[in-house]
Amino acid sequence: MIIDYLLCVVCLKHDHGMRFLLSSHHNARPAGSIIDLIVLHAISLPVGRFESEYIEAFFMGNLDVMSNPDFADLSDTRVSAHFVVDRKGKVTQFVPTSRRAWHAGQSSWPDVEGEARENCNDYSVGIEMIGDESNPFTQAQYRETARLCRTLMAEYHGITTQRIVGHQDIAPGRKWDPGKQWDWAKFYRSLSRIRNVSFKIKL
């Protein structure tokens, strides 16, 4: 009885729903593209602040760049990611996965045969986790990012555990994220614990 009650409270606390805020920052993937890579990122806006409102505005194309001096560089920048995972683990989808989001920039990662392939946006799904280089990511972010990755792996069979990489891996020297705060071993443990795919994503 008590266990039932506790499980129920846990269920209520863990809302597995997905929010949708569909951005116009996307275009078609090249014909014949096979989605076989997940790129994990970290973002905070302004740097070191973990609220999601400016990130959402940035990806939606309506960030008021005059509202903060830190945003001045972003005036002509149009970017997006398929998903954002906030500090509480809440997931928002901005771009359908069949479309190309603009998260990776100049980048390269080998295909399944080991051949170098440029432009990771063409064949990857981008997940931004709210965080920075100084603060550990939250337990909820490990759990929900793993759940989201499992959902994507069930949909796109070319994505294996080895094909979940960091932005820093596909653009070394140019990008730092998700950086040293992201504990890959902990993430793999989270991934191995996920049994059910519970997210409903927009393809």
* Window of 6-14, 68-76, 91-99, 170-178 that interacts with Zn ion by CB under 5 A: 170-178
Backbone angles phi, psi at 3, to 5 degrees: -65, -40
Contact 131, 50 (CB under 8 A): yes
Residues 33-52 interacting with Zn ion (rule: CB under 5 A): 41
Using CB under 5 A, which of 177, 182, 187, 191 touches Zn ion? 177
Backbone angles phi, psi at 36, to 5 degrees: -140, 25
Using CB under 5 A, which of 36, 59, 167, 182 touches Zn ion? 167
Binding mask 135-164 for Zn ion (x = CB under 5 A): ------------------------------
C-beta closer to Zn ion: residue 151 or 168: 168
C-beta closer to Zn ion: residue 40 or 191: 40
Q: Give the three-class secondary structure for 146.
A: helix
C-beta closer to Zn ion: residue 41 or 150: 41
- Determine if 82 is a binding residue for Zn ion (CB under 5 A): no
128 classed as catalytic:
yes
Binding mask 85-124 for Zn ion (x = CB under 5 A): ----------------------------------------
C-beta closer to Zn ion: residue 100 or 167: 167
C-beta closer to Zn ion: residue 41 or 100: 41
- Contacts with Zn ion by CB under 5 A: the residue count is 3
* Window of 25-33, 111-119, 174-182, 184-192 that interacts with Zn ion by CB under 5 A: 174-182
Q: Give the three-class secondary structure for 130.
A: strand
Q: Give the three-class secondary structure for 123.
A: coil
List b or e across 54-74, with b for residues whose CB sees 16 or more CB atoms inside 10 angstroms. bbbbbbeeebebeeeeebeee
Angle at 108 (CA atoms; ends 106, 110), nearest 5 degrees: 170
The catalytically annotated residue of 51, 53, 113, 128 is 128
CA 130 → CA 33, 59, 85, distances in Å? 28, 13, 6
Distance from first CA to last CA of the chain, Å, rounded? 40
Sites of contact with Zn ion (CB under 5 A): 41, 167, 177
Catalytic residues: 128
